[in-house]
Amino acid sequence: MLSWRMRRVSIDLLHPDEPSSEDEASWPTSSAGTVDEGVTAPMGSFVGRRLGSYRLLDLIGRGGMGEIWRAEDIRLGRKVAVKLLSSRLAGSSSSNARFLQEARAASALDHPNICSIYEVGETTDQQLYLVMPCYKGESLQDRIARGPLPVSEVLDLAGQIARGLSEAHRNGIVHRDIKPSNLMITGDGTLKILDFGIAKLAGQDGLTRAGVIVGTLSYLSPEQLRGKPADERADLWALGVVIYEMLTGRHPFPGEQGATIRESILHAEPEPLERIRPDVPADLERLVDELLSKDPAARPFAAANVVEGLRKIAAGISTSRPGWLSRMAAARWRLGIGLLVLGLMVAGGIAVWRWRSVSKLRVTAPPSMATAAPPSASGRPSVAVLGFQSLSSDASQQWLGPALTEMLTAELAAGGKFRVVSSERTAQARQSLRGRGKESLDRSYVERLHALVGADLAVTGTYLLLGGGGHQQIRLDIRILTMVSGDTVASVVESGSEPELFDLVARTGSKLRTALGLSLPTVTERLQVRGLLPARSDAIHFYAEALARLRSYDPAAARDLLLRAESIEPSSVVIQSALSEAWMSLGQDARARQAAQQAFRGRQALPQEAQLTVEARFYETGKQWGRASDIYHSLQTLFPDELEYGLKLADTLSRAGRGVKRSWRGGSEIFPDPIRPRKLESPRAVGSILHLSSLRVCSIALTTPRWRGVLWMPSKC
pLDDT digits (tens, 9 = 90+) for 409-439: 777 777 766 677 776 777 777 776 765 444 5
pLDDT in the model for residue 214: 53
Q: Is 346 helix (H, G, I), strand (E, B) or coil?
A: helix
* 552 shares a domain with 598: yes
Q: Give me the phi and psi of 131, to 5 degrees please.
A: -120, 130
**Alpha-carbon distances, residue 346 vs 191, 650, 656, 713 (angstroms):** 46, 6, 14, 15
pLDDT in the model for residue 109: 81
* 161 shares a domain with 109: no
* 302 shares a domain with 153: yes
The top-scoring range by mean pLDDT among 153-157, 214-218, 394-398, 448-452 is: 153-157
**For residue 319, is pLDDT > 80?**
no
pLDDT band at 146 (very low <50, low <70, confident <90, very high): very high
* 475 shares a domain with 608: no
Q: Which of 530, 550, 575 is the last residue of a domain?
A: 530
Residues in Cβ contact with 594 at an 8 Å cutoff, skipping those fewer than 6 apart = none
* 540 shares a domain with 474: no
* 613 shares a domain with 675: no
CB 287, CB 308: distance < 8 Å: no
* 525 shares a domain with 666: no
CB 284, CB 212: distance < 8 Å: no
626 within a domain of the structure (yes/no): no
- The percent helix, strand, coil of the chain (3-state, each to 5) is 50, 15, 40
Count of C-beta atoms within a 10 Å radius of residue 420: 23
Sign of CA pseudo-dihedral 705, 710, 711, 714: positive
* 646 shares a domain with 583: no
CATH label of the domain that carries residue 156: 1.10.510.10
Set 17, 73, 177, 195: catalytic member = 177
Give the Cα separation of 87 and 280 in Å (integer). 46
Average pLDDT in the 370-383 region? Answer: 50
630 within a domain of the structure (yes/no): no
Q: pTM, whole model, 2 decimals?
A: 0.44
Average pLDDT in the 359-388 region? Answer: 47
User: In 187-330, at which residue ranges do the beta strands (DSSP E only) sit?
Assistant: 191-193, 200-201
pLDDT in the model for residue 659: 44
154 within a domain of the structure (yes/no): yes
Which has more pLDDT, 710 or 643?
643
* 189 shares a domain with 146: yes
383 within a domain of the structure (yes/no): yes
pLDDT band at 310 (very low <50, low <70, confident <90, very high): very high
Mean pLDDT of the chain: 70
Give the Cα separation of 699 and 623 in Å (integer). 21
pLDDT in the model for residue 15: 36
Average pLDDT in the 30-59 region? Answer: 59
Provide the residue range defining the domain that includes 161. Answer: 139-314
99 within a domain of the structure (yes/no): yes
pLDDT in the model for residue 288: 95
324 within a domain of the structure (yes/no): no
CATH label of the domain that carries residue 495: 3.40.50.10070
Q: Indicate the DSSP class of residue 438.
A: -
CATH label of the domain that carries residue 81: 3.30.200.20
* 589 shares a domain with 658: no
CATH label of the domain that carries residue 543: 1.25.40.10
Count of C-beta atoms within a 10 Å radius of residue 75: 9
- Count of domains forming the chain: 5
SS (H, E, C) 161-203: HHHHHHHHHHCCEECCCCCHHHEEEECCCCEEECCCCCCEECC
Give the Cα separation of 523 and 506 in Å (integer). 11
Reply yes or no on whether 177 is catalytic.
Answer: yes
Average pLDDT in the 280-296 region? Answer: 91
**For residue 679, is pLDDT > 60?**
no
Average pLDDT in the 704-714 region? Answer: 30
Which has more pLDDT, 603 or 159?
159
> What stretches of 602-658 show up as alpha helix (H) in DSSP?
608-621, 625-638, 643-656
Q: Which of 530, 545, 576 is the last residue of a domain?
A: 530
pLDDT in the model for residue 129: 82
Q: Which of 530, 548, 583 is the last residue of a domain?
A: 530
CA angle 699, 703, 704 (to 5 degrees): 100
Q: Indicate the DSSP class of residue 456.
A: S
pLDDT in the model for residue 665: 39
pLDDT in the model for residue 163: 94
Cis bond before residue 499 (omega within 30° of 0): no
Least confident of 293-302, 434-443, 460-469, 583-592: 434-443
Least confident of 169-173, 305-309, 548-552, 590-594: 548-552
* 236 shares a domain with 182: yes
147 within a domain of the structure (yes/no): yes
- For helices 683-692 and 443-453, the axis angle rounded to 10 degrees is 100
pLDDT in tens, 233-285: 999 999 999 999 999 999 999 887 888 899 999 988 899 998 899 889 988 99
Residues in Cβ contact with 601 at an 8 Å cutoff, skipping those fewer than 6 apart = 297
* 674 shares a domain with 606: no
Average pLDDT in the 147-169 region? Answer: 93
372 within a domain of the structure (yes/no): no
